[in-house]
Amino acid sequence: MIEKKKFRFIPEYSVFPLILVVVWNQLVYSGAMFLTKNWTHYNFELGIDQKIPFVPWTVSIYLLCYLFWIVNYILCARQDKSSAYRFLFADILAKAVCLVCFLVIPTTNVRPEISGHTIWEEIMRLVYHIDSASNLFPSIHCLVSWFCFIGVRKKENIPVWYQAASCVMAIAVFISTLTTKQHVIVDVIGGVLLAEICYYITGRMKIFQRL
């Protein structure tokens, strides 16, 4: 009798690390926000940030990226064990750095007055109400979105068009964080650089090369 192979949506070796990534992200973001809520916060806004227009409809991109994250993190977790562990540990390492930044240099920014009542402006009001202007540098939105591109970049089992689409989507998220006034340019740059640095570090660690 031929034993049927079991199809696993997520490889068994990636399940716990993937759960750890989600839990650690929440602990870092919520924990830092709770600890620093009464601390002095710094504004890294530059003159060029003030020239970027407030475009409420781009909140659609800002929120749609959560689906982008889920899809691409699952794709990365489905890679071979070495690649999956390298990617997931890079995320965990990056969030640890984020925690240090959130605690050492708590950040904030100046949000615009929303006067209109279109659906996008109402959604922006809701986002501003739910998500306080803190934990801005580096931008986790930009960090995770760039990781979504890094994780599929140059992967032979991922179609080139999808790699390109992931890059475009990540850049669209960067823009949306600025046009919704959720972040400033320094936050975006910090998120991208941190993702690249942490992914490079895990790539140099021999433990992931031996898996």
Supply the pLDDT for residue 211. Answer: 63
Got the DSSP string for 120-149?
HHHHHHHHHHHS-S-S-SS-HHHHHHHHHH
What is the rounded average pLDDT of the residues 101-125? 96
- pLDDT band for position 8 (cuts 50, 70, 90): confident
Quote the radius of gyration of the chain (alpha carbons, Å).
18
| Res. 102: pLDDT tops 90 | yes
Task: Give the chain's mean pLDDT.
Answer: 94
Give the pLDDT mean for 100-113. Answer: 97
pLDDT at 1: 40
Residues whose CB is less than 8 angstroms from the CB of residue 54 and which lie 6 or more positions away in sequence, other chains included: 112, 179, 180, 181
Mean pLDDT (whole number) for 178-199: 98
- pTM of the prediction? 0.94
* pLDDT at res. 4: 45
Phi, psi values for residue 43, rounded to 5° = -110, 115
In this predicted structure, the answer to whether residue 55 has a pLDDT above a threshold of 80 is: yes
Tokens of 166: 């992931």
Which of 186, 190, 150 has the alpha carbon at shortest distance from 170? Answer: 150
pLDDT band (50, 70, 90) for residue 206 = confident
* Nearest Cα residue to 68 out of 180, 175, 173: 173
- pLDDT of 7 higher than 70: no
